[in-house]
Amino acid sequence: MAYEPFDLKGKAALITGGNSGIGLGIADAVARAGADICIWGTNSEKNKAAVKGLENHGTKVKAFECDVSNETAVEESFSEALSVFGRVDACFANAGTGTTGMRFNEMSTEEWKRVMDINLDGFFYTMRIASRHMVERAKNGDVGGRLIGTSSLGAICGMAMSEHYAASKGAVISIMQGLAVEFARFAITANSILPGHIETGMTEKRYQDEKFTNAILPRIPMRRWGNPDDFGGIAVYLMSDVSSYHTGDTFLIDGGFFLN
């Protein structure tokens, strides 16, 4: 018999950037645990493919095309999610963009804003509407909620030639810690997940580069790249009732890289 506190039946999760990579790994795990799933993604074909796979777990699944850098789109998509699911018990703000890397003193303002528009502004829009919903629900006697932000290993170690990306992910940690304190009175928790070197569609080309692999892989004690499935366990834990007293934390999922 399964340990019941990890049973997510009757709960609904919103995962931004949930149609691939880490987001899809999270969606798959919480669906297997019984949660209904709402995905936001900008690629309609990836959305359809993700829904098709997730529906095999027997829970309600719906995907919306939503660019989180668009404030209006976030507000409208959240309203649509509520019309379908009735509630959002956990919001995984996972949508983000990476960078090919460029010297800081040569970085254009446009490149800086491109990353910040999605990774920081989009994160803010998402967390604002999700927390608003959870607080309103709590004021009506339905307390509780889970806010989870995807940060990065880059937020806590020097990330040369990607300072704008690192800054946006460092902000995620600071925001989540603030939310943990602000919303604890409503039994809402707020935590951050920090992925290390994870092989996804977005990072595939980098991890196939022999020079990069030879420089980084030997420094990972687990001696492999991470993959989206490695985030399933922490996602289920953070969404479950078991974590109701665990808030303001940062969960580094990096195979031990930061320690080496």
Contact of 226 with 193, CB cutoff 8 Å = no
Catalytic residue list: 165
Two tokens, residue 129: 């509407």
Two tokens, residue 46: 């990836």
Closest CA to 196 of 171, 173, 216: 216
Distance CA 210, CA 215 (A): 9
Which strands, in side-by-side order, build the sheet including 12-16? 61-65, 36-41, 12-16, 90-93, 145-150, 188-195, 250-253
Distance CA 71, CA 180 (A): 23
Contact of 226 with 198, CB cutoff 8 Å = yes
Distance CA 208, CA 58 (A): 36
Contact of 8 with 28, CB cutoff 8 Å = no
